[in-house]
Structure formats: C-alpha cells, structure tokens
Amino acid sequence: MFEKLIGIDLGTVHVRVYVKGRGVILREPSVVAISTRDNKIVAIGQEARDMLGRTAESIEVARPMRDGVIADYVVTEAMLRYFIQKAVGQSPVFKPLVMVSIPVGVTSVESRAVHDAAVQAGAKEAYLIPEPLAAAYGAGLPIGTPTGNMVVDVGGGTTEAAVVSMYDIVAYSSVRVGGNRTDEAIINYIRRKYNLLVGESTAEAIKIQIGSALPVEEEASLEVRGRDQVSGLPKTIAITSNEVTEAIAEPLAAIVSTVKGVLEKTPPELAADIIDRGMMLTGGGGLLHNLDRLLTQETGVPCYVAENPMSCVAIGAGKALENYSVMKRVLPTP
C-alpha cells in the first residue's frame, strides 16, 4: 500500500488531521473567509480565524460546519481539500485513504455529504466513523474487549456520550451543546449584567483562562474589554471565575443530562464495568476546569480527562483506518 492513511476530525470549531506514522500534523480552526464581491475564498484555517469579527463587509468569515454537520457543502469541500493537500502535498502520486469523523446518529443525507465532500476534496476512498467511537479508540480505551468503556466527547458544536464494547457503540446520547454554546452563554451573561458587548474570541479566552464548571474557593479575575451597550464607547470590566461558572450553568446542565441519559440506557453488566473503570472525557470542551469533577459529582461515576483530549478523535479515526479489516463491520456506510 502506497497511499497515505489520513484520519480527520472534522469539528465545528477545529479540524485535526492525523497521518499514519506522523501523528496529528494539523490543528486549524474550521473557519473560511470568503469575499462577498466574487464569492471567492480568501483564507482558510488560522488565517481566516484571525479575521473573525475584524473584517469589513467585503469579507465574510464563516464556519461551514454547524453542530458537527455540514452547513455549507461547497465551502466544506474547499476546506477539506486545503487540509488534505497540506497533509499529502499538492499533487501526490497516490490519492490518500481518508477516515472522517461524524457525529453519532446523524442522518444518511448528512453522512453522505461528508463522504462526498472528502472524495471531491481528493481522497481515493473515504470512510466514516462515529465521533465517540473514534474518541474512545484515540484515548487508548480497550474498545476491542467485551467490557464497557464510556467516553464523553465535548466538542465545539456537540457533546456526545457513548458506551463502547467490541469495537461498537452499545448506548449513546448526544446534544447539540458544546464549547460554542458555553461561549454564547458567557457573551449573554456579560451583556445582561454589565451592558458590555464582547465577541466570540473574548468569550473563549475568558472560558479558557478562568472558566470553571464548579465554584472555586480561590477566585481568579480577568479584565475584559468590549463596547458599552449604553454609551457605545469602549469599556473595561473585571469578571471573576465564579461569575463564569454561573454564566455557563445552563449548557453544562445539558451536558450532564446527556451523560446521565447514556448511563440509564447502558446494560447492567456494562454499567458495572463503567462504575469500576470510570468514564473518559475527550474533546476541547473536556479541558474546562473541574468538568470531570462536576460529572463525577452528578453521576457518581469516576471521570478522567484523556491524556490529549483535543486529538483523541483524529488519532482514533487514523487508527481505525489502519485497522480497517476489523473495523469495517461496525462502520457506517455512506
């Protein structure tokens, strides 16, 4: 086999690309900047992300993925082509084999769109893998054994919880709430409480720097700059970590209820395994401070953050492609 094997985590917020033998080689925002005059793509990835909220009307900065599924097919295809070319070079002798992650439980139309976009973008063959299965594989859980392995993947657009055994998903639940929804909650909270308008990037920075899923004893605070809603002038306020906890309580409650929903559907034998072994937290949202403690507190099941939570899905997709002869019986056909 001369083709490169590529695993792609096609996320709402980031795209990560794994290449066999090289590991995760790309992690870029799934953002595209388009010129509104001639509808041409101006920038993709980090370059486009830097333009978010900072461009004139002539350039529209868009996310072609929404809640883990394709919202704009043409732009997604162009974005995939850009990332595949970055991984294999401009004109490879052999087209690569690609495994792309999709949210669990998507419709056949949505999964077909991902498959077709990958093929149009330059893949010789494209296969699909449900995100929680890829996350569990990438996190190093023994998914090929007849034991219960629970994974909670908190992404940008969706949170998916699943129990995996014998390379297949036994029980799952997903909710279209993730990092984006928590950022929105922070924006709305600051607007209501301080009459201050802040952007997505600022909200994300607040969440990463001082955000916590549970109230903390030693509060941290952060200076936040934005535009005053009343005067329209720039203004600076200080926000504390416990205020952020209060702001994001609603989206976190939706994540907790999703996890509980999976535990309720899990067969008793596998549930016993999960109580012994705990659940694994993956995805960028899994890095939110104290989210593992919140899930343990609410469910009574120990929760651990994966070693490299952001890359688990891309690594798992790549490993599944390397082990395709075993995995093909459980993978969805587009």
Contact (CB, 8 A) for 130 and 170: no
Whether residue 160 sits in one domain with residue 269:
yes
54 and 80 part of one domain: yes
In a domain, 138, yes or no: no
Contacts 24+ apart (CB under 8 A), 254-257: 254/159, 254/175, 254/177, 254/181, 255/152, 255/154, 255/159, 255/175, 255/177, 255/285, 255/291, 256/294, 256/295, 256/298, 256/299, 257/175
Residue 206 within any structural domain of the chain: yes
Strands 5-10 and 97-102: parallel
128 close to 109: Cβ distance less than 8 angstroms = no
Residues 156 and 205 placed together within one structural domain of the fold: no
Domain with residue 154: its CATH number is 3.30.420.40
Shared domain check, 158 and 291:
yes
What is the DSSP code string of 213-245?
SS--SS--EEEEEEEETTT-SEEEEEEEHHHHH
**84 and 185, same domain (yes or no):** no
Number of continuous H segments (helices) and E segments (strands) in the chain: 12, 18
Co-location of 56 and 114 in the same domain: yes
CATH code, 219: 3.90.640.10
For the chain, what is the domain count?
Answer: 3
101 in a structural domain:
yes
Q: Are residues 123 and 149 in the same domain?
A: no
- Residues 127-183 have pLDDT tens digits of 999 999 999 999 999 999 999 999 999 998 889 999 999 999 999 999 989 889 999
Q: Do 98 and 120 lie in a common domain?
A: yes
pLDDT per position as a tens digit, 228-277:
998 999 999 999 999 999 999 999 999 999 999 999 999 999 999 999 99
| Eight-state DSSP code of residue 287 | G
69 and 14 in a common domain = yes
Same domain, yes or no: 91 and 27: yes
Residues 6+ apart with CB under 8 A from 323: none
Residues 93-135 pLDDT 10s: 788 899 999 888 888 888 899 899 989 888 888 999 999 999 9
Decide: pTM greater than 0.85: yes
Considering 228, 248, 268, which residue would you say is the last residue of a domain? 248
Domain span including residue 214: 179-248
Domain presence at residue 271: yes
Q: What is the pLDDT of residues 313-322, one digit of tens each?
A: 999 999 999 9
In terms of domains, do 96 and 115 share one? yes
Last residue of a domain, one of 226, 248, 270: 248
Which pLDDT score, from 0 to 100, does residue 1 have? Answer: 59
- Residue whose pair of structure tokens reads 């509808």 in the numeric block: 39
